[in-house]
Structure 1
Amino acid sequence: MAVIRSDRPLDWRQVAAVAAGEPLELSADARARIAAAHVLVEQIVERGIRAYGVNTGVGALCDVIVSPSEQRTLSRNILMSHAVGVGTPLGVAETRAIMAAALNNFAHGHSGIRLAVAEQLVALLDADCLPEVPAFGSVGYLSHMAHIALVCIGEGHARYRGERLSGREALQRLGLEPLVLDAKEGLSLVNGTPCVTGLAALALARAARLLDWTDAVAAMSFENLRGQLAAFDAESLALRISPGLNVVGERMRGALAESGILAAAVGRRTQDPLSMRTIPHVHGAARDVLSATAEVVNRELASITDNPIVAGTPEAPRVYSQAHAVGASIALAMDSLATAIAQVAAMAERRLDRLVNPLVSGLPAFLAEPGGTCSGFMIAQYTAASLVAQNRRLAMPASLDGGITSGLQEDHLCHATPAALKALEIVDNAGRIVAVELLAASQAYDLQTLDAARAPYTDSLWRGVRSLVPTYRDDRPLAEDMALAFRMIADTEPPPLPNPGKMRPAAAGVVGHTGYATAGEANPTAAHLPDAAGRDLQSAA
């Protein structure tokens, strides 16, 4: 089902859908806006109106005039000099997300590229012939988009059907010719915030799914540790004003309904440890951050982030050369989301530690077979603790890194793209931590001595795990089980909750500007998707 960029901007869910493999189409009106903006650039060139990056150099060279005969050379050279990425290339989803966000930005009609340039990017997406984009470089966005644009002119490298090809050969395989860039096109292709915005949309999708799984796995640990259900009392939780908190409370009540284990534990303790009784508070706070981040990303997708921006009419073209390409708001949002997910994962590790500690769990030490020859989940908890520490280091705010570039011309930097990249890394680390907790909670069920039934929901989770891996008896490398559990969390949704009520946290790709969806709401590739204002965003089969 194609995602269509029409007269409305894409929202983050649609970008995430394209990242996951859905094709992207430009509607007739989007194509018309792109073409009209190029006419404005042609008029700027013809009339000799000074415009940054059109007939001047870039960065600290902004006052150096570039003659009309040199403007194509300037566009090409911008790609060459800005393609300075280093490190392992981005994954397929990350690259597709950036390309989708770039096309969304061009479709606003203020970039000035020719329609042929946008069509070249659409063709690469449609064929899943993806430029090779090193993950690190520059201080924000320039290098990533430069590597993508290189393939459009027959340079750089691309991946196509498992092969690494030169940009020229990749275009030949698709029956396309390398582009010769016109004035401003080189700068338009590398400028703006599509890089961080695409990555941010992907981070939202992965974080939303992770939070659903974390609620589910936390319910398993809570049941195994025989917590007090009063922690999820609806009247009590309603006293704290937090949409996320109250939704998580409802989810926990649904997940643990009809638990014989918890029924037998009622009144055994006055209070559970914080890693158990604050599940709604911590998980709910992260959902509130997710909601706020979704708003920022949707606003960014609705914004024009070029420098310069072309506007006006062919008779009276205008150029705005300000700082819309600076991603301060989205950098701060990514730092916030990263910290929220790191905190949720840190608490998951604390529940895991309680499961493997016989002093508090009432279960065999480290959930291992008795006799001293088996270590069970002892060292798996080490791995989780190590990932928590790594997340703590990663959660330091990228948006405060600062720096000075381009001969003092660019003397304040927000590091938005690094903020998104580390948020994605934290989400992956968190998924691995929760995967270990999922395995440990399943093992704990196998070792329970209490003759009482699991809740139907947690029983379904346990059965799902056991369909993948048997009970662990130190009979195989535990890392293999952990990898399977991580893929289960990263690639699939947890089972739907029984009777979730009118509100539930939305699954990956469904969260809108509130962060929550009503029961039965459409999935991210459904025919109509609401944008941040609740209006339909058009998609089509």
Structure 2
Amino acid sequence: MILSPGRAPLALWRAVYRGAVPSLDGSCREAVEAGAATVAAILRKGEAVYGINTGFGKLAQVRIADADLATLQRNIVLSHAAGVGENLPADVVRLVLALKLGSLARGASGVRWAVIEMLAACLQRGLLPAIPAQGSVGASGDLAPLAHMTAALMGVGEFLGEGEASAALTRHGMEPLVLGPKEGLALLNGTQVSTALALAGLFEAERAYASALVTGALSTDAAKGSDGPFDPRIHALRGHRGQAEAAASLRALMDGSAIRASHRVDDPRVQDPYCLRCQPQVMGACLDILRQAAATLEIEANGVSDNPLVFSAESEVISGGNFHAEPVAFAADTIAMAICEIGSLAERRITLLTDPVLSGLPAFLTPRPGLNSGFMIPQVTAAALVAENRQRAMPASVDSIPTSANQEDHVSMATHGARRLLPMAGNLRAILGIEYLAAAQGCDFHAPLRSSPKLEQARGILRACVPTLEEDRHMAPDMHAATELIAIGALAELTEVSL
């Protein structure tokens, strides 16, 4: 897998998150070395340029002597490594390194080729810096977390699973990185941490979305719901792409269901509740905004977001604000809303299935209600997780707070907004795992009638590890097993969804 700076597709970043290690397209070396040469030429001229021979932020007016330039870059890394909290997961850190590599390799950051080689070597060896998750406001980039990343490359701090950074580099036959002019700032400035977290949330939401189509279809069959609302003519009249595609997926999943066929003529119900009937409208809207977020994040992943930027052709260095992560913040907010709504709709279907008045099934999906509680409390758990996701889904992008003595007086909060996505996605997987169990149990009551081939495949995957609930038993292991099937994509593979 080749990482071409500025041209990497979403599929590459998805693969990196899932464990792939990309190789950098070496044709970018000329642009990188031109950028470094431009920085060297400016220094020879003695010009004052922000971040190269000046202080940072509110201290930008302080001129730094040539003899202190190496110390300046080291100091900014160590002073900015002020993150707190748990370390970012390894999958996210791998993305951070790959994103930073792709950005610096565009040649607009003024770093030497040695910096590119260091990042690439860490990726290839699986050396992932320990990066505390909290401490960035999403402008001037992700300063604190990227400082921890850079410090590890310098032999300060730790690598995940490797311990102390200097010793880890030695074990891998690598020398600590010694920073040249501007290189500390180039490594610290940028949106790579917020973007990595948002991409991770996107990829987990993508898998959960596809899984929710399957659990939603299975719930529809368990409730003997109608597939009429999935008729393509309905959705063509409205015109939303996601809605039409969601309806098509649901139709395909239910195609050939004997359960559905059994009540096509004599069912007295005129309309199903919204959680069944309006699946295309809700899930389609979620798909549309996930795609919008994906488009934004693909652009951001390929962009250059540090400051100042080097334009070699004109021998200029220009200070700007590409480090402001507002696009990422908006993308993270929309992903959070989609995650929240997918779970909210699923919980309503769980509730429908456990209510005998609505579903026509035994109360709480147990053959002997009263003696047994069945799915009574798993539904409560799903409701609790939905409430938690609703609280987390409030927009983060509107919550700016001034920093750096009001030099950085408007920030994006993108990193905070993106960091919540993985826990939210974990909640969603658990909700869908509960629905998976409840829907399969509901269909069991319709035996000997069988669902569609695809939905029977979904039931078979579950029943291979979780038997039908005949009497009350320890529910947590069942829920864990079903949630793990959602997490690994066992259901997502049954329907095609493309961002």
TM-score of the superposition, structure 2-length normalised? Answer: 0.95
2:477 alignment counterpart: 480
SS at 1:180's partner residue? coil
SS at 2:298's partner residue? helix
Matches within 5 A, 1:48-127: 48-127=46-125
SS at 1:87's partner residue? strand
2:304 alignment counterpart: 304
1:34 & 1:48 partners in 2: Cα distance?
22
Aligned AA for 2:114?
A
2:459 alignment counterpart: 462
2:285 alignment counterpart: 285
1:142 alignment counterpart: 143
Verify the 8 A CA contact 1:37 1:109 in the aligned structure 2: yes
Would the alpha carbon gap of residues 462 and 269 (structure 1) be closer, same or farther in structure 2, given more than 3 Å must change?
A: same
Verify the 8 A CA contact 1:124 1:130 in the aligned structure 2: yes
Would the alpha carbon gap of residues 52 and 230 (structure 1) be closer, same or farther in structure 2, given more than 3 Å must change?
A: same
2:492 & 2:243 partners in 1: Cα distance?
21
Matches within 5 A, 1:514-525: 515=499
* Alpha-carbon distance, 1:242 to partner: 0.8
Are 2:174 and 1:182 aligned?
A: no
SS at 1:487's partner residue? helix
2:45 & 2:478 partners in 1: Cα distance?
66
2:497 alignment counterpart: 505
Question: For 1:239, which of 237, 240, 244 is the aligned residue?
Answer: 237
Which stretch of structure 1 is more off in the superposition, 388-397 or 463-472? Answer: 463-472
Verify the 8 A CA contact 1:12 1:201 in the aligned structure 2: no
1:375 alignment counterpart: 373
SS at 1:428's partner residue? helix
Matches within 5 A, 1:40-51: 40-51=38-49
Aligned AA for 1:312?
S
2:268 & 2:157 partners in 1: Cα distance?
65
Matches within 5 A, 1:4-23: 4-6=2-4, 8-23=6-21
Q: Deviations over 1:378-417 (max 9, x none)?
A: 1111111111111111111111111010011000011111
SS at 2:261's partner residue? helix
2:452 & 2:230 partners in 1: Cα distance?
15
SS at 1:319's partner residue? strand
2:453 & 2:338 partners in 1: Cα distance?
30
1:446 alignment counterpart: 444
2:365 & 2:69 partners in 1: Cα distance?
68
1:437 alignment counterpart: 435
1:372 & 1:42 partners in 2: Cα distance?
79
Aligned AA for 1:94?
V
Verify the 8 A CA contact 1:369 1:473 in the aligned structure 2: yes
Are 2:250 and 1:252 aligned?
A: yes
Verify the 8 A CA contact 2:198 2:332 in the aligned structure 1: yes
Would the alpha carbon gap of residues 138 and 495 (structure 1) be closer, same or farther in structure 2, given more than 3 Å must change?
A: closer
Q: Deviations over 1:142-191 (max 9, x none)?
A: 111111111110001112xxx44111011011100111111111111111
Verify the 8 A CA contact 1:358 1:366 in the aligned structure 2: yes
1:306 & 1:330 partners in 2: Cα distance?
15
* Count of matched residue positions in the alignment of Structure 1 and Structure 2: 494
2:337 alignment counterpart: 339
2:24 alignment counterpart: 26
Aligned AA for 1:275?
C
* Alpha-carbon distance, 1:493 to partner: 4.1
SS at 1:52's partner residue? coil
Verify the 8 A CA contact 2:307 2:320 in the aligned structure 1: yes
2:187 & 2:372 partners in 1: Cα distance?
57
1:144 & 1:173 partners in 2: Cα distance?
24
SS at 2:373's partner residue? coil
Matches within 5 A, 1:186-335: 186-266=184-264, 267-313=267-313, 316-335=314-333
1:104 & 1:274 partners in 2: Cα distance?
45
Which stretch of structure 1 is more off in the superposition, 60-69 or 406-415? Answer: 60-69
* Alpha-carbon distance, 1:21 to partner: 1.7
* Alpha-carbon distance, 1:303 to partner: 2.2
1:349 & 1:475 partners in 2: Cα distance?
21
1:88 & 1:476 partners in 2: Cα distance?
35
Higher strand share: 1
Q: Deviations over 1:416-458 (max 9, x none)?
A: 111111223222211111111001111222233x642211111
2:44 & 2:467 partners in 1: Cα distance?
72
Are 2:403 and 1:405 aligned?
A: yes
Ranges in structure 1 where 5+ consecutive residues have no aligned partner: 507-514, 516-541
* Alpha-carbon distance, 1:480 to partner: 1.7
* Alpha-carbon distance, 1:472 to partner: 2.9
SS at 1:204's partner residue? helix
Q: Deviations over 1:265-323 (max 9, x none)?
A: 2243211100110100111111101111111112212322111101134xx52111111
Aligned AA for 1:41?
V
SS at 1:310's partner residue? strand
* Alpha-carbon distance, 1:85 to partner: 1.3
Verify the 8 A CA contact 1:9 1:104 in the aligned structure 2: no
SS at 1:203's partner residue? helix
1:59 & 1:215 partners in 2: Cα distance?
48
Would the alpha carbon gap of residues 371 and 415 (structure 1) be closer, same or farther in structure 2, given more than 3 Å must change?
A: closer
Which stretch of structure 1 is more off in the superposition, 424-433 or 387-396? Answer: 424-433
1:172 alignment counterpart: 170
2:156 alignment counterpart: 155
Q: Deviations over 1:309-366 (max 9, x none)?
A: 01134xx521111111101112111101111221111010000111111221222221
Verify the 8 A CA contact 1:228 1:269 in the aligned structure 2: no
2:299 & 2:468 partners in 1: Cα distance?
47
SS at 2:317's partner residue? strand
SS at 1:336's partner residue? helix
Which stretch of structure 1 is more off in the superposition, 210-219 or 262-271? Answer: 262-271
Are 2:361 and 1:363 aligned?
A: yes
* Alpha-carbon distance, 1:371 to partner: 5.5
2:45 & 2:462 partners in 1: Cα distance?
68
Verify the 8 A CA contact 1:209 1:493 in the aligned structure 2: no
2:484 & 2:64 partners in 1: Cα distance?
52
TM-score of the superposition, structure 1-length normalised? Answer: 0.88
SS at 1:55's partner residue? coil
1:188 & 1:201 partners in 2: Cα distance?
22
Verify the 8 A CA contact 2:197 2:421 in the aligned structure 1: no
Question: For 2:393, which of 387, 392, 395 is the aligned residue?
Answer: 395
Verify the 8 A CA contact 1:5 1:107 in the aligned structure 2: no
* Alpha-carbon distance, 1:369 to partner: 4.3
1:484 & 1:496 partners in 2: Cα distance?
17
